[in-house]
Structures are given as structure tokens and as C-alpha cells.
Structure 1
Amino acid sequence: DVDGSVEALTDSFGKLSTEEIVVNIIHKGVGAITESDVLLASASDAIIIGFNVRPAGNARQVADKEEIDIRTYSIIYDAINDLKDAMEGMLSPVMKEEITGTAEIRETFKISKIGTIAGCMVTSGKIYRNSGVRLIRDGVVIYTGELSSLKRFKDDVKEVSKGYDCGMQIKNYNDIREGDIVEAYQEVAVKKKLK
């Protein structure tokens, strides 16, 4: 709407830039959003931010046709926070490991052509069939892999909760002993924040 707003917004947007994402202002000006603004945004793969202004003439129709995002604001902080949220959405998430549960091996059963099955008691959380697992012996991780089966009695199950017995087999690994601990974990995506 006025030069002062343009400068305030431009400065604020510029300050949002980080090492990973840079805010690039292609054009700024005072007055209504015009058709030529939309065509410039289309050519530059940009969004249009209007402050106390609206699209004039055919600008809105051209924007719809060219699939250009026009965002209008009347509060500077809303514009800044919206852009910040959009930038955070562009950051690739960080993968974080979450331990879902542990089980103690109480018995082992060797079955020909299949391998060794661990008879376990789930001691905390839940063991999921599709989790990654670590085999821990005397506090030391001796193998990291995945389950090839998880059963309650003779039934295949997707998960077993704390306090229940289950039978599990670790894929391509048979050196299991009574007293070993199985720790189940999953990779969880955590949204990054702009610093």
C-alpha cells in the first residue's frame, strides 16, 4: 500500500533466509497487484504477497490460469509467520529413532529349516512386527536387524504389548540366548524448525 510497508516487509522477509533456504525477492512495488506482476511471478516460479492491496483487473483470473499463489495480508506479522511456516514445510525432516519397546528372551527353540525362535516376554512398551530390532547381551548390542516373524501362540501378529508372551525370529540371525534383550525401534520423521 505504501513505501514504508514495502520496505518493512522486504527487510523482514530477507531476515528469514537461512543456510538451507534463501528468500529471493524478485520485484516489489506500491499499488494494486497487476496482470504483469502475475506474469512475472509465473515466469519466475514465485508467489505474490499483497499488503493492504488486492489484484486489479484481470490479475486474479490470470493468476488462477497460471496457478500463481496470491496471498494478501493486512498485518505484517501474519505475512512473516505465514512465509516462515511455508519455508519450514520446505525443510526436509530429520529422522529420529524412537524405541518402542523391549522384550526379554526366556526360552529358545531351534526348528530345523527355519532357525532359532525366541520365546519372549515383552517387558516395556510394544514390539511391532515391522520394527527394527537390536539384540542386547550383557548391556552390549551384538546384532541390529529386523524381525522375520512375530507370533502370539501360533498366530502371526502385528504387535505385542508389555506383559505378554510372544515368539519372535530375528531375520538371518540365530545366535540368541536366554536372558538376551530385544530392543525394538522405529525411525520417526521430525519436522525441522527454522533457526
Structure 2
Amino acid sequence: MNLNYPLILGSKSPRRKEILIKAGFEFSTEAKDTEESYPVDMPHTEVASFLAEKKAKAFAQDEKYTDKIILTADTTVLIDNELLEKPQDEDEAFSMLSKLSGRAHQVVSGFCVLINGKFEKYSDETLVYFNPIEEEVIWDYIRNNKPFDKAGAYGIQEGIGLTHIEKLEGSYFTVMGLPIHKVYQALTAYSKG
């Protein structure tokens, strides 16, 4: 897609970068550290798009991003209306993966498009079904993959994600961190056609 403005992916995530490259976008990558808090009374399904917009706002304060498209994103994992964020240590990762074992959970990926002071936020949801995971397998995964940068303590494209996800209802790429089908639709408004 040929865009009217340069595209910047405002994320350090190698997975989001990979998805955008595979979808044929030309872009540069630039991330700004953003404090990832959200209102305690916010519905959990809205947290991902809220945080994506918060990340975009970090770019909005700098004039050098005028006439550029900024794309930011965030992903959350929900089970029993509990938000599973990035685990702080091995024990927390083990606790999260034990909760997901043999059950279904929601993954919500939100993204925000910022252009010339205008914010548009979107989100997409996928239901993920895990087969039961043995304790030993969970510990092996945590020690080998160190999933501390991933909400819910797993990546769909590696280890437990590859071997224990039975099925998805929704987009694989939403679970990976960027609902590319919705990103594509959102950016069409800024394409040269």
C-alpha cells in the first residue's frame, strides 16, 4: 500500500514489525517509553486500545511527527475478567500459564493511528483455546523462552503457543499483537490508491 505520509511503527515489538513487513508496508520504527497505567474502573476489553492511544500521545507532543502516520499498539489477555499483564518473574508467569491451561481466554489487541493531531483507536478480540499444559512443560517454556515481555506470559508463535493452542476464534495476528486486517482498513484512508 502506498501511503500519502511516512508510516512510523511506535513499538519495540519484533512481532508487530514482522507483521507489518509481511503485509507489505514500508515504515520506520521508533518507540517512546510510556507509562502503562489505566483507570481502575475501565472495562478490561478497552484497556488495550486505551494504552495504544496513550503511546500515540507520546508522539503527538513533538512537531517532528507532523505529516507522518504514527501506529501504536497494545495487547491484553483476559480470563474470568482478570487482566493478565506482562509477568514480573518466573512464578507469576507460571501462575498465568496455569490459569490458561485447558481453558479459553480472550486476547484483545488495540491500536491507534495518529496523524496531524487526530487520533483513531481500534481494537480486535480473539478467543484462544488452550489444551491442558503439564507443569513441567510450563516451567521448561518459561526457562527457555523468558516470556516476560508478553501479556499472559506466552507468544502464539513459539513454544507453548505452537504446541498447546487447540483453536482460535478470530485473528491469529490479533493474538500475535497486531490485528493487521483492521490496520490495513484503517490506513486505506491515507493511501494513494
TM-score bracket, shorter-length normalisation? under 0.3
Structure 1 length-normalised TM: 0.22
- The structure with the largest alpha-carbon Rg is 1
Name whichever structure is richer in strand by fraction.
1
With normalisation by structure 2, the TM-score equals 0.22
Structure with larger RCO (C-alpha < 8 A, sep 6+): 2
